Amino acid sequence: MRTLTKFYDDKNFKRGFSRSGFTIREALILETYGRTMQSLLNGIMMPESEAEQRFVEQIQHQPAAISEFAQCWLKYQNKINFKPKYYTLCGTQRSSDDSSDDHSDSSSDDLD
């Protein structure tokens, strides 16, 4: 696989790949070959070697056994396209005046 300039994704991984859930090996692959992988998949570059052609086919068809390059790229894509689901808890809170009135009536009945 060809190498171009270093690949960094400061928008999604401000602290770098190795500090964002990628192994050292995966971070090295992305930094070294990321621009080439991106260009191959966007159609900017045409595959020149068997490894590049296999990479493009594996990303497009995702067979069970894929290369280390394809695994790194798919992991990268999953991380940048992951949209976390946020849940909120909503509830009502009674005012302290209302709750004390309810309890005072029942407690006065108990004392009599």
Tally of domains in the chain: 1
Cα 69 from Cα 56, distance rounded (Å): 10
Q: Has residue 74 been placed in a domain? A: yes
Find the mean pLDDT for residues 69-81. 90
Q: Has residue 35 been placed in a domain? A: yes
Q: How confident is the model at residue 4 (pLDDT cuts 50, 70, 90)?
A: confident
Domain containing residue 37: 1-94
Q: Has residue 33 been placed in a domain? A: yes
- Whether 72 and 18 have beta carbons less than 8 Å apart is answered as no
Q: Has residue 68 been placed in a domain? A: yes
pLDDT, one tens digit per residue, over 34-59 is 999 999 999 999 999 999 999 999 99
State the pTM of this model: 0.62
Q: Which pLDDT score is estimated for 105?
A: 52
Q: Count of alpha carbons within 13 Å of 44, Cβ hemisphere only?
A: 7
pLDDT, one tens digit per residue, over 57-70 is 999 888 888 899 99
Q: Has residue 73 been placed in a domain? A: yes
Q: Has residue 107 been placed in a domain? A: no
Provide the angle, in degrees to the nearest 10, between the axes of the packed helices 68-81 and 50-61: 40
Q: Has residue 4 been placed in a domain? A: yes
Q: Has residue 100 been placed in a domain? A: no
pLDDT at 107 over 60: no
